[in-house]
Amino acid sequence: MIEGVAAAILTNMRRRGLLARMKKLLKPFTYQSTESVKELHCEQTRLRDIAARVGTPAYVYSGNHVIGRYREIDRALRGCPHQVCFAVKANSNLALLALLAKQGAGFDIVSGGELYRVIEAGGSPARTIFSGVGKTTEEMDYALASGVRMFNCESESELTLLDERARKAGRKALVGLRVNPHVDPRTHPYISTGLRENKFGIPIREAEKLYQRAQSLRGIKLEGLSCHIGSQITHLSAFSQALTKVVELANRLRAKGCPVRHLDAGGGVGVAYKSSDVSPSIAAYARTVLRCVRGSGLKLYVEPGRAIVAEAGVLLTRVLHIKAEGRKRFVIVDAAMNDLIRPSLYGAHHDIRPVLLAKDSAKQKQMVADVVGPVCESGDFFARDREMPSLQAGDLLSIDTAGAYSFVMSSNYNSRPRAVEVMVDGIEWRVVRKRESLRDLIRGERV
Ligand code: LLP
108 and 158: one domain? yes
| Cα 357 to the center of its chain, rounded Å | 29
Count of domains forming the chain: 2
Ligand 1 centroid from CA 13, angstroms:
37
pLDDT of residue 83: 98
Q: Is residue 444 part of a domain?
A: no
| Domain termination site, one of 287, 309, 331 | 309
C-alpha neighbours within 13 Å on the C-beta side of residue 358:
10
Question: How far is the C-alpha of 149 from the C-alpha of 43, rounded, in Å?
Answer: 35
Spatial separation of the C-alpha atoms in residues 225 and 298, rounded to whole Å: 10
Considering only CA atoms, which of 253, 304, 270, 294 is closest in space to residue 85?
A: 304
| Domain that includes residue 184, residue range | 63-309
Residue 339 included in any domain? yes
Residue 340 within any structural domain of the chain: yes
Its sign, for the CA torsion 221, 163, 122, 281, is negative
Q: How far is the CA of 186 from the centre of ligand 1 (A)?
A: 14
Q: Please identify, among 279, 309, 339, the residue that sits at the C-terminal boundary of a domain.
A: 309
Could you identify the atom of ligand 1 that is nearest to the CA of residue 305?
A: 14
Rounded Cα gap, residues 188 and 273, in angstroms:
14
CATH number (domain holding residue 250)? 3.20.20.10
Helices within 60-217 (DSSP H only)? 63-76, 94-102, 112-120, 137-146, 156-168, 204-214
User: Angle 270-107-259 (CA atoms, 0-180°, nearest 5)?
Assistant: 95
Give dist(CA 342, CA 49) in Å, integer.
27
42 is catalytic: no
- Helix, strand or coil for residue 198? coil
**Atom of ligand 1 at shortest distance to CA of 303?**
9
Assess whether 206 and 273 both reside in one domain: yes
The residue type at 200? F
Given the CA of residue 188, which atom of ligand 1 is nearest to it? Answer: 25
Kindly list the protein residues whose Cβ atom lies closer than 6 A to any atom of ligand 1.
87, 89-90, 108, 131, 191, 228, 231-232, 266-269, 303-307, 342, 346, 405
The DSSP bridge pattern shows strands 428-433 and 82-87 to be unpaired
Q: Which of 249, 275, 309 is the last residue of a domain?
A: 309
Question: CA 89 to CA 111: how far, in whole Å?
Answer: 9
Nearest CA to ligand 1 atom 6: 267
- Shared domain for 137 and 255, answered yes or no, is yes
In the chain, the amino acid numbered 360 is: D
Q: Which residue of 188, 200, 231, 410 sits with most ligand 1 atoms within 8 Å of its CB, as the best mutation to test the pocket?
A: 231
288 and 354 in a single domain? The answer is no
Say yes or no: 321 and 305 in one domain. Answer: no
Within a domain: residue 216?
yes
DSSP 3-state of 235: coil
CATH code for position 325: 2.40.37.10
Choose among 381, 299, 338: nearest CA to 77. 299
How many angstroms is it from 405 CA to the middle of ligand 1?
A: 8
Evaluate the omega torsion of the peptide bond into residue 57 and state whether it is cis, within 30 degrees of 0. Answer: yes
One pLDDT digit (tens) per residue for the chain, 447 residues: 555 555 565 556 555 555 554 554 579 999 999 888 999 999 999 999 999 999 999 999 999 999 999 999 999 999 899 999 999 999 999 999 999 999 999 999 999 999 999 999 999 999 999 999 999 999 999 999 999 999 999 999 999 999 999 999 999 999 999 999 998 888 998 998 988 888 999 999 999 999 999 999 999 999 999 999 999 999 999 999 999 999 999 999 999 999 999 999 999 999 999 989 999 999 999 999 999 999 999 999 999 999 999 999 999 999 999 999 888 999 999 999 999 999 999 999 999 999 999 888 777 899 999 999 999 999 999 999 999 999 999 999 999 999 999 999 999 999 999 999 999 999 999 999 999 999 999 999 999
Could you say which of 42, 80, 292, 376 is catalytic? Answer: 376
- Cα 124 to ligand 1 centre (Å): 21
Within a domain: residue 38? yes
State the Cα–Cα distance between residues 305 and 342, nearest whole angstrom.
15
What residue type is 42 in one-letter code?
A: C
- Quick one: 93 and 126 in the same domain? yes
DSSP category for residue 434: P
> Are residues 155 and 26 part of one domain?
no
The predicted structure's pLDDT at residue 195: 87
In terms of C-beta density within 10 A (0-12 exposed, 13-18 middle, 19 or more buried), how is residue 55 classed?
A: middle
What pLDDT is stored for residue 86 in this prediction?
98
Same domain, 245 and 384: no
Among 226, 269, 306, 345, name the best residue to mutate to test ligand 1's pocket (greatest count of ligand atoms within 8 A of Cβ).
306
* pLDDT given at position 35: 82
Radius of gyration of the chain from Cα atoms? Answer: 24
Q: What is the pLDDT of residue 4?
A: 58
Residues 187, 77, single domain; the answer is yes
222 and 269 fall within a common domain:
yes
User: 133, 277, 303: which to mutate for ligand 1, most atoms within 8 A of CB?
Assistant: 303
Same domain, 57 and 69: no
Helix or strand or coil: residue 251? helix
Instruction: State which ligand 1 atom lies nearest to the alpha carbon of 152.
Output: 3
pLDDT for 303: 98
Do 166 and 201 fall into the same domain?
A: yes
| Cα(295) to centroid(ligand 1), Å | 28
